[in-house]
Copies of this chain bind each other. A is one copy, B any other.
Amino acid sequence: MNHVSLVSLGIGCLGLIVVFFVYVALSRGSTGTAKMLEIAEEIHRGAMAFLGRMYRILVGFVIIVAILIWFGISRETSIAFVVGALCSALAGFFGMKAATKANVRTAAAAKDKGQAAALGVAFNGGAVMGLSVAALGLIGLGALTMVYGYDETAAQIISGFSMGASSIALFARVGGGIYTKAADVGSDLVGKVEAGIPEDDPRNPGVIADNVGDNVGDVAGMGADIFESYVGGMVAAIAIAATMLPQQVLNLTGAEDHRMYLLTLPLILSVIGLVASMIGVAGMTVFKNMNPAKALRGSTLLAAVLFLIGAYIWIHQSAIVNGVFFAIFAGTLGGLLIGWVTEYYTASTPVTRIAHASKTGPATNIIHGFAVGLESCVGPLLIIAGIIWVAYEQAGLFGIALASIGMLATVGITMSVDAYGPIADNAGGISEMSKLGPEVRKITDGLDALGNTTAAIGKGFAIGSAALTALALFSAYGQAVDAVRYAAGEAPIIMDITNAKVVIGLLLGGMVPLLIGALTMTSVGKAAGQMVDEIRRQFREIPGLLAGDENAKPDTARCVDISTKAALQEMVLPGVIAVLAPLVVGWMMGPEALGGMLAGATLSGVILALLMSNSGGAWDNAKKAIEKGEIEGEAKGGEAHKAAVVGDTVGDPFKDTSGPAMNILIKLMSIVALVLAPLIALL
């Protein structure tokens, strides 16, 4: 079925061509004043320097793992692993490049042409990332399936692709997360709380690092995360299709030859999704003159509807039963529902509740915020359970993998909307630092506030898809183990939860996300502490800096350096643990224990991800609600606001470092297990 691979490759390349044109159009935009360009250059240099240094470290890691896979599993899997790592790194690079160009041009558009133009520029910046993720995923998997085909062995090989993407993703997310929050927390603690100067004030030496952080954390990190889910869902679906009983979901009876319908479905769905996304992105040129929130929602919904129509037509005309469509539909709808639940908890009555609780001080702010975070897990867990129920009823384990594809097929547009947020945020920072005045700031603030909501929805998507992808990969792992055992004449494994090995695996798996959470939180705490010391030192030692003397320049490079070093140093241990944990447990305790471990890690990882992301988002917006005067009797600078700032600061590493790390962690552990399956199946 090489023509499906060819189409994937073709549409993927078309996607990259579109990316290129969007990028060129973006580059031609005005960069505003000289001051603006100078700041933007500083941010751009910092971000690229970090990415470069991170990738250099990762090259070593990739080489070591590739050698191990080469000799331990197979040459082909090793190659696929390297290609996966490369594609993920490229997606991050393209996204960052565009984002750091778009931020200043958004500010300039806001200054010169108003809100609609600014929205358009910021969105195009995000679209480079969104479309790159989808296009590179299709190119990578299209090329690999073209070479290796679609059989069971090929499925095993392309799992290496997903593992490569996962590995880069974990380091990018953890490193980026530590970077951004060390800078953010550190500069807020000294700047906003101690010195009483506003956010993004150019006197604050940490402010450039903070803006760089938005790019390395929220753009590159997020992109790598979603790339991984996107690819992981397809790999899991192909792996399951390669070993399942095809009769289950085909109208043709007893026709083993028709397995190809199933094997190619994941790529076909993603092709339809990318085309739909490109139409959605193009639609923004029409929508952007509407209210920005409606414009973003409109283009997202347009792409989703087009994707569903396309998917339905394809399935209906093929030999696949119609029920399979409902598994996909459940994924698409479930993603939107989780997004809405996330929006409710981070932008609605729960936020007001936290804001009111701030009146009795930071302690009650934290207690209520944490309670909101706990509560916010309930809806998404129910939705994920519902998706699994529908998908499994309709198409068995294959359905679960398809649901995850359904959730992410229009990643081209959802990622664009998501990456738009940090660009608007940066644009605001640049306006403030270049003193463009309140008019411009008002536009960028409006776009930024909307960006917070889209980011929250994006996070909901990321978590939901991570959970589904992890479960799909986990199912693929179970099937891969059984396939090896079947070939060796052994009975399939039973991962019964009353088996002590499975229980031990469950407990050990549940432990890993906690450990990674503890490590990343501590890293942010430590790095933020160093940042605080450095900023305090500069305020103390550079004469006239705090007073606002024109000639007193803060040493921003030093702060960038602190964040960079801390992030690179602290990202290694979590990454290594995530790769080693499933390997050690699988090797020492066998495939049942490893299965238990994946289930435990997925459950506790999803819980931590939801809890931390949502409470963090809610704290952030509770602070903003007080700042905007939405809470009667409270205002910026008052006691309640100070309490809310504490909550916001606690929420920073929650929502931008540790929480998102969980998404990748659970996928990475599952994919490592899937790659290892042939080695441990008979233990």
**A binding-site residues for B, Cβ under 8 Å:** 185, 189, 193, 357, 360-364, 366-368, 370-372, 374-375, 377-378, 381-382, 384-385, 388-389, 392, 397, 400, 471, 474-475, 478, 494-498, 500, 502-504, 506-508, 510-511, 514-515, 517-518, 521-522, 524-525, 528-529, 532, 595-596, 599-600, 603-604, 606-607, 611, 645-646, 649-650, 653
Contacts and interface: CB of A to CB of B under 8 A. Distances in A.
A366 B368 contact: no
Contacts of A367: 185, 521, 524-525, 649-650, 653
6 contacts: A362-B646, A370-B650, A374-B517, A494-B494, A497-B497, A497-B502
A385 B581 CA distance: 15
A497 B650 CA distance: 36
A494 B494 CA distance: 8
Nearest to A393: B500
B363 A515 contact: no
Contacts of A599: 497, 503, 506
B507 A384 contact: yes
Nearest to A492: B496
A532 B382 CA distance: 36
Given A388-B503, A521-B370, A514 B364 contact: no
* Interface residues of chain A: helix, strand, loop or mixed (majority): helix
Contacts of A596: 497
Given A511-B382, A604-B603, A650 B363 contact: yes
A517 B603 CA distance: 17
A619 to B, nearest CB: 10
B518 A361 contact: no
Q: Max chain B CB contacts within 10 Å: which of A375, A377, A603?
A: A603
Given A384-B507, A511-B378, A371 B495 contact: no
A382 B509 CA distance: 10
B495 A497 contact: yes
Given A504-B388, A506-B603, A363 B646 contact: yes
B385 A529 contact: no
Nearest to A364: B525
Contacts of A653: 367
Contacts of A522: 368, 371, 375
A643 to B, nearest CB: 9
B500 A378 contact: no
A71 B366 CA distance: 46
A48 to B, nearest CB: 29
B361 A193 contact: yes
A661 to B, nearest CB: 12
A498 B478 CA distance: 7
A495 B392 CA distance: 16
Contacts of A607: 510, 514, 604, 607
Given A367-B521, A397-B500, A498-B595, 19 more contacts: A363-B646, A366-B646, A367-B524, A368-B525, A371-B518, A371-B521, A374-B518, A377-B511, A377-B514, A378-B518, A381-B508, A388-B503, A478-B498, A497-B502, A497-B595, A506-B603, A510-B603, A510-B604, A603-B604
A392 B600 CA distance: 19
Given A361-B646, A374-B521, A603-B510, A397 B498 contact: yes
Which of A388, A392, A514, A532 gathers the greatest number of chain B CB atoms within 10 Å? Answer: A514
Contacts of A371: 517-518, 521-522, 525
A147 to B, nearest CB: 30
Contacts of A361: 189, 193, 646, 649
